[in-house]
Amino acid sequence: MNMRRIYRKVAKKHGVSATEVKRDMQAAIEHAYNRPSRSEREKMVQESVERENSVPTVKELIAFAARELREKEK
């Protein structure tokens, strides 16, 4: 399933626009990465996410989560 379809599906379920879904998901990721009270475990997991910048995009984080889930299924 592509990202655009995911945003639309979530948006429809919650009665908002796909743009709002993407914006809110990115804001949540940024909050998680920038809050000062992160535990060492959170920092370790966050550092393992492949990304181009200091905070991953929604697409980068979902790709990471999907890879992790596939690995756990093996």
pLDDT recorded at residue 2: 87
Element (DSSP H or E) covering residue 58: helix 58-73
Count of domains for the chain: 1
Range of the domain at 13: 3-73
pLDDT tier, 3 (very low <50, low <70, confident <90, very high otherwise):
confident
Residue 36 is classified by DSSP as: T
pLDDT recorded at residue 25: 96
Give the tokens for residue 25: 């998901």
pLDDT recorded at residue 39: 93
Exposed (0-12), middle (13-18) or buried (19+): which is 53, by Cβ within 10 Å? exposed
pLDDT, tens digit, 9 for 90 and up, residues 11-70? 999 999 999 999 999 999 999 999 999 999 999 999 999 999 999 999 999 999 999 999
